[in-house]
Amino acid sequence: MMTKPFGKSGDVSELVSSLGWLEEDGSSQDGEESPELRARHGLAMHGGRMHSCTELGSEDMEEEEEEDDEEEIGPNGERAPKRRGPKKKKMTKARQERFRARRIKANARERSRMHGLNDALDNLRRVMPCYSKTQKLSKIETLRLARNYIWALSEVLESGQSPESHGFVEMLCKGLSQPTSNLVAGCLQLGPSPTMLNKLEDKCGGPGMGGVGGQAGHPLSYPSPGLPSPPYGSLEASHLLHMKGFKGPVYDNPSPNECSSGTPPYDGPLTPPLSINGNFALKQEPSPHESERNYTPHPVHAHYLSSHHYSASTTSGLPGGPQGHPLFQASRYELPLDVAFDNAFIYICI
């Protein structure tokens, strides 16, 4: 798909004025945008991508006024040759109205679609090893970290490698930007001392944050003389507990009704467990062990504990690398992004 870059698509002002959007009333398209958005929108209209409004089909014939017979006069007064091909339809008032209404609806849909996408991404952020409400990982870093996290957890399950090991952190940091790597490394280095955990609550990055994001001393912290500590988030207290507590089925702080004992409960509707390739076919019944304990374990623990009770396909055939991982196998089906995010969230939670 090629869209013409702004400023290269012919007479923009003519196209804009033909739509009559800008001079109409100055109001927003859908009537609910902020002034800032309106300003933004006005600029966007100047972008000159409205050329294809003349290509819209499905218009009432009686409204069409064809500009046949008119010969175009060039800037120097010379006559341009008659255009061939389908005749251009003029934008009558009615057509403009209909086009505008359609566009407004499409914009609203697109906005809400992107909001859904961002919500799914937020849910994914919440189950990442480094989560903070105030300082969010960027979208791309969230996806990278999620990939690494799943991969690293798979390795833990497959090889019994400790999540405290150097290799675990190394896997988490693979492909991440340096600030994020430093952050993750710094987070995983911290111990779950209560004082530290209190400091961590929603205060991440920056000086005096109890070492959050503090890369100093960590074997995986990359020296970055030019880069200050990342202003991102920190390892949430609960995550620290779980990481450090990943030794067996004993829980420090069991808390019901949460995905993990410390991560915020996911209150939105979960995407139903997928059965793509049989990889996400979960049993809906809690295992006897789980009902006895009356809590919802942390992702790592839950997976560790219940691998015998869930479909074997979730744990069998774990890959040597991310490409062979069930989640990534599922990605071959080109799931919509928000569904993919939700699946990652679900996968980490089981």
Partner DNA sequence: TAGGCCATCTGGTCCT
Partner DNA sequence: AGGACCAGATGGCCTA
Position 57 contacts DNA (CB under 7 A): yes
Distance CA 142, CA 343 (A): 14
Tell the smallest beta-carbon distance from residue 122 to DNA (Å). Answer: 9
Question: Is 109 or 289 the residue whose CB approaches DNA more closely?
Answer: 109
Query: Looking at 23, 55, 70, 285, which residue binds DNA (CB under 7 A)?
Result: 55
Position 143 contacts DNA (CB under 7 A): no
Query: Looking at 18, 20, 33, 167, which residue binds DNA (CB under 7 A)?
Result: 33
Tell the smallest beta-carbon distance from residue 117 to DNA (Å). Answer: 8
Which one, of 121, 120, 173, 118, lies nearest residue 149 by Cα? 173
Q: Which stretch binds DNA (CB under 7 A): 24-32, 159-167, 284-292, 305-313?
A: 24-32
Q: Which residue type, as a one-letter code, is found at position 146?
A: A
Question: Is 172 or 243 the residue whose CB approaches DNA more closely?
Answer: 172
Query: Looking at 29, 215, 261, 306, which residue binds DNA (CB under 7 A)?
Result: 29
Tell the smallest beta-carbon distance from residue 310 to DNA (Å). Answer: 27
Question: Is 270 or 305 the residue whose CB approaches DNA more closely?
Answer: 270
Tell the smallest beta-carbon distance from residue 219 to DNA (Å). Answer: 24
Query: Looking at 73, 216, 227, 312, which residue binds DNA (CB under 7 A)?
Result: 227
- Calculate ∠ Cα 40-42-46, nearest 5°: 110
Question: Is 29 or 314 the residue whose CB approaches DNA more closely?
Answer: 29
Position 26 contacts DNA (CB under 7 A): no
Query: Looking at 10, 13, 26, 40, which residue binds DNA (CB under 7 A)?
Result: 40
Position 281 contacts DNA (CB under 7 A): no
Tell the smallest beta-carbon distance from residue 232 to DNA (Å). Answer: 10
Helix axis angle for 166-173 and 178-189, nearest 10°, is 150
Neighbouring CB atoms inside 10 A of 320's CB total 11
Q: How many residues bind DNA (CB under 7 A)?
A: 54
Neighbouring CB atoms inside 10 A of 235's CB total 28
Query: Looking at 82, 87, 90, 102, which residue binds DNA (CB under 7 A)?
Result: 102
Position 45 contacts DNA (CB under 7 A): yes
Position 41 contacts DNA (CB under 7 A): yes
By the 10 Å C-beta count (0-12 exposed, 13-18 middle, 19+ buried), 203 is classed as: middle
- Using CB under 7 A, list all residues that contact DNA: 1-7, 28-30, 33, 36-37, 39-41, 43-47, 49-53, 55, 57-58, 102-103, 105-107, 109-111, 113-115, 118, 136, 138-141, 177, 226-228, 231, 334, 336-337
